[in-house]
Each structure stands twice: as structure tokens, then as C-alpha cells.
Amino acid sequence: MSNIIRRIGQTVVILLGVALLIFIMLRIIPGNAIVTMMGEHANAEAIERMTAELGLDQPFYVQFWRYITGVFSGDLGTSYSLNRPVGELIATSFPNTARLAIAAALFAWVLGIVCGIIAAVRKNGILDHLFMGVSLLGVSVPVFMVAMVLQYLLAYKLDLFPISSGNAGAIGYVLPAIALGWNSAGSIARLTRSTLAEVLQEDYIDTARAKGLRRLPVITRHALRNAVLPVITMMAVQLSSLLSGAVICETVFSINGIGRLAVQAIEGRDIPLLQGTILFSTALVILGNLVADCLYSLLDPRIRKEV
């Protein structure tokens, strides 16, 4: 138990660090944020009023303290450019990103793990070489390329899917999910293959075969459970890269998600919004890490004991 508590403590520290880092980075930009925001021609009085209103005349640590206490009470500030609470904007766009990321993750996991298993079982066979070649291609293509090729071929030429996913419902998420999951599928396939191939060399696999288990149950009951452990740690890493890729995917397919919100924030020089979206996404990744850690220790009795 103490291990998990310590881990949660670490997570809180990292979260605070992340918040502080974002806060500092967005406040060392050259030029006054307010001026850039309100335009060159705003009169001095208005600028002063706005500065006071936003608390930007306060010392740095007071500003940070206010921001952090705000975050903990659910207040992420107000967007300059959209003139709405940042929390509200994130709440409306997050479900779209979540749908996209979950669909992409499902695609990536199913495809990656199945291909990884087949490649490992048929190691050095034709399928192995094929899958590993394709998976390296998978990790090497830029997200926007997959997205645009899919969009051009399947949505524009063949008209099978909507070009823009904004209001298209579930079907609109098929192409973005594939485009986004493609990269992850490649790395998951490669990792699954290497860990499973290693596990299949272990003595306990021979023991399981010697018991009279057929090939398939040996893999599903004995090998996978051991091979999946490193793959789970990868889950959190994947979450991070999915959120990175989502920025691109949402732009290409016009999905109103967190990533697009961040791009809008940058284009509108909207510090509270940018700050909110980045903090939110990073918090998601950190929580994902925590969940992966807990899951890992649940699945591996050797670690569970220590917990």
C-alpha cells in the first residue's frame, strides 16, 4: 500500500511541476501579453484595467498561487479570444478527443497485438517479416500523411467516409482513428512480438506444453499474460503520443477536440486557453501513467507482494 501512496505523492509533485513550468513558459514571452492580446491600438487605460482584472500586475508567485488554487476549485480562467471559461471549453471539446483517442487506441491495440502475436509465433516466417516491415513503415509515416492519404482515397475518391468528421457521428471517426492509431499499432506490434518471442523461449512454456496443453491455450493462458506486462507500461507512453497525434488528426479532419483548441489558442495568442489545454492533456498522461503502474502491479504477483 505504502508504495502506491508514495507513487500518488510523486504524481502530485509532477503535476505541480508541470503547472509551474507551463506557467513560467507562457509568461516569459517577449512583449506584454495584454498588448498582443488586445491589439496595438487599445488605449493605455483599458490595458491597465485589463491587467488589473487578470491579476497580471501582481508578483509572479501570487499569480501562480491564484492560478493553482483556481485549478483545484475547477476554475481554469477565462479564454481571451473566445470569451468563455476555459474549463467549459475543455469540457465541450474533450469528449471528441476522448472518442477519437479511444477509437484509435482500440484500433492500434487490436491490430498491434494480433500482428505481434502472429509474428512472434511464426518468428522468421513470411508473415513475421511482412508484419515487421509494415510496422516499421507504421512508425515512420507522419500522422498527417496517413490522414491525408485516407482522406483523399477513401473519403474523396471512393466517397466511403465523410471528409470532415465534425458533425458526421460515429462513422466520421473511422478514418481519423485509423490515421491516429497507425503509429501506435506499429510500435505495439513490435513490442508485442519481441516480448512474446522472448517469453515463448521460457521453460514454463515447455512445462505447459508438456502438460498436454495445445498450442493456442499455451499462448493465451501462459505466454500472453507474461508478455503483456511490458506492453502495459507502454500504454501510458502511447496515451501521450495519441494526444500529440490528435492535434494533427483533429486539424485534418476538423474535429473540435482538445488538440484543435490548443492550436486555436496559439493562433489567438490566448494564454489561459493554451495553459488550460496543455495542463489538462498532461494531467491525463500523468494519470494514465499512474493507472498503468497500478495495473502492472496487479498483474504481476512478484511486484504485488512488495506493494
Among 7, 63, 202, 295, binds other proteins (CB under 8 A): 202
Per CB under 8 A, contacts with other proteins among 248-277 are 248, 251-252, 259, 262-263, 266, 274, 277
2-5 long-range CB contacts below 8 Å, 24 or more apart?
A: 3/297, 3/306, 3/307, 4/294, 4/297, 4/307
If binding is defined by CB under 8 A, does position 41 make contact with other proteins?
Answer: no
Is residue 118 within 8 Å of residue 131, measured between CB atoms?
A: yes
Among 115, 117, 120, 143, binds other proteins (CB under 8 A): 143
Three-state secondary structure call for residue 85: strand
Which of the 8 DSSP states describes residue 98?
A: H
User: Closest separation between CB of residue 154 and other proteins, Å?
Assistant: 13
Among 3, 88, 209, 220, binds other proteins (CB under 8 A): 209
C-alpha cell at 32: 506584454
Per CB under 8 A, contacts with other proteins among 104-123 are none
d(CA 171, CA 169): 6
First-residue to last-residue Cα distance in the chain: 5
User: Closest separation between CB of residue 48 and other proteins, Å?
Assistant: 24
Among 289, 292, 293, 296, binds other proteins (CB under 8 A): 289
Selected range binding other proteins among 12-20, 69-77, 79-87, 110-118, rule: CB under 8 A: 12-20
If binding is defined by CB under 8 A, does position 230 make contact with other proteins?
Answer: yes
If binding is defined by CB under 8 A, does position 231 make contact with other proteins?
Answer: no
If binding is defined by CB under 8 A, does position 210 make contact with other proteins?
Answer: yes
Is residue 259 within 8 Å of residue 247, measured between CB atoms?
A: yes
Tell me whether residue 302 is exposed, middle or buried, using C-beta atoms within 10 angstroms of its C-beta: 0 to 12, 13 to 18, 19 or more: exposed
User: Closest separation between CB of residue 165 and other proteins, Å?
Assistant: 16
Closest CA to 153 of 166, 165, 163: 163
Among 51, 63, 81, 244, binds other proteins (CB under 8 A): 244
